[in-house]
Amino acid sequence: MTERAITWDARGGRGGSGAVRLLDQTLLPGRTEYLDVDTVDDLVAAIRALAVRGAPALGVAGALGVVVAMDEAAREGRDRAALEAAVDRVRDARPTAVNLRWGVEQVRSLVDDGREAVLEAALDLAAADEAANRLLSRHAADWLQERVGHRPLRVLTHCNAGLLAASAWGTALGVVRELRTRDAVEFVYADETRPLLQGARLTAWELAAEGIPHAVQVDGAAASTIVRGLVDCAVVGADRIAANGDVANKVGTLGVALACREAGIPLLVAAPWSTVDLATPDGSVIEIEERAGEEVTAFGGTRTAPEGSSGFNPAFDVTPARLVAAVATERGVVEPASGDRLG
Ligand SMILES: CSC[C@H]1O[C@H](OP(=O)(O)O)[C@H](O)[C@@H]1O
């Protein structure tokens, strides 16, 4: 199984001068194919189609997208204003995950230092993300073993927050990987995560490849799985964490959080600090991406709902801090439900 869903191919692209290499996640688990992306149009399309997805991975895509924009501007003889507009298009390709904007802003200030400076900064950002994910996974595993117990744990996950959603290793699945190294994973219940099935297709692909015992369940089963006592904790990723500890994550996370509160088990959110947005005071101001209704009214390319039915398709929801037992980042663990703030 690949360990990286997004990399820089120095010999890729139409001129052989470099391209972003993306494992096309829309085709997993059935097909393993890569996209060679050297234009802003193709990168924006890949982000919007979720060929590349997941907050930390979007941060890397945003940073490398500045290099793509610079190379394309040089190839096409475009001026600085056109370059900045192209970089803005990468930044704005999806609204909810703060990492995309963060990744772009981290490197665009280096444009005047040249393309190699921007590329080096983008690659450093990717390496730092992997290191952060491995460290936050250790912090999270320590917290879970202290809070829940030093025994094999039964974990519920929602969506995909694995290596496919990051530069490598993963966040929520990074925690599962860390627990596995401690012989502390008994079983994982993976929510399928309608409508695009990031859980059934991607999380299951990662868990199966590593022989981690798991089952895919429909999203509607999550609450009863939790309330019936079949899991010890829920561990999820995040797309944006507000200063007060409110968490934007894949739609359905709020339901998982409410069930965890009802069952008295912890919801732990695993995310690098780049997902924390201190400029966002609370979850009420986080823009929730509304995706095409056709993703809901069709399945596998076949329309399921009647022609007269529209689809309501918010891609994320916001879990209030009072339902978040822990947020684990590379800086440590805070407990929003206990009153801790991120900033
Ligand atoms: C490690 S962050 C992953 C995060 O991103 C996912 O959203 P999408 O698949 O739409 O990019 C989901 O919210 C995951 O929790």
pLDDT at position 3 is 87
What single-letter amino acid sits at 286? I
ipTM: 0.97
Centroid of ligand 1 to alpha carbon of 120 (angstroms): 26
Closest ligand 1 atom to Cα of 271: 1
pLDDT at position 32 is 97
pLDDT at position 1 is 78
Closest ligand 1 atom to Cα of 275: 2
Residue with CA nearest ligand 1 atom 12:
250
pLDDT at position 236 is 99
Mutate to test the pocket of ligand 1, among 58, 197, 239 (most ligand atoms within 8 A of CB): 239
Selection from 114, 110, 184, 198 nearest residue 153 by Cα: 184
CB burial of residue 181 (10 Å; 0-12, 13-18, 19+): exposed
Class of domain 137-338: alpha beta
Return d(Cα 94, Cα 294) in angstroms, integer. Answer: 18
pLDDT at position 304 is 97
Domain 6-128 has CATH 1.20.120.1200: no
Beta strands in the chain (DSSP E): 6-9, 19-23, 34-37, 153-157, 185-191, 214-217, 233-236, 240-242, 247-250, 267-270, 276-277, 298-299, 302-303, 316-319, 326-329, 332-334
Residues of the chain with CATH 3.40.50.10470: 137-338
pLDDT at position 141 is 98
Return d(Cα 173, Cα 212) in angstroms, integer. Answer: 11
pLDDT at position 15 is 85
CB of 259 closer than 8 Å to CB of 331: no
State whether residue 66 is helix, strand or coil.
helix
Under-70 pLDDT residues of the chain: none
Pairing verdict, β 214-217 and 276-277:
unpaired
pLDDT at position 300 is 87
Residue 237 in contact with ligand 1 by CB distance below 6 A: yes
Residue 140 in contact with ligand 1 by CB distance below 6 A: no
Per the annotation, the verdict on 317 as an active-site residue is no
Residues of the chain with CATH 1.20.120.420: 6-128
Kindly name the residue from 129, 191, 232, 239 that is annotated as catalytic.
Answer: 239
pLDDT at position 2 is 81
Q: Which residues contact 279 (CB under 8 A, 6 or more apart)?
A: 243
Centroid of ligand 1 to alpha carbon of 143 (angstroms): 23
Centroid of ligand 1 to alpha carbon of 261 (angstroms): 22
Residue with CA nearest ligand 1 atom 5:
54
Residue 56 in contact with ligand 1 by CB distance below 6 A: yes
Centroid of ligand 1 to alpha carbon of 240 (angstroms): 10
First to last CA, the chain: 38
Residue with CA nearest ligand 1 atom 8:
54
pLDDT at position 341 is 96
Selection from 161, 135, 128, 126 nearest residue 247 by Cα: 161
How many residues in total does the chain contain? Answer: 343
pLDDT at position 97 is 96
Centroid of ligand 1 to alpha carbon of 162 (angstroms): 9
pLDDT at position 136 is 98
Residue 168 in contact with ligand 1 by CB distance below 6 A: no
116-160 residue pLDDT tens: 999 999 999 999 999 999 999 999 999 999 999 999 999 999 999
Residue 123 in contact with ligand 1 by CB distance below 6 A: no
Centroid of ligand 1 to alpha carbon of 101 (angstroms): 15
**What DSSP state is assigned to residue 202?**
I
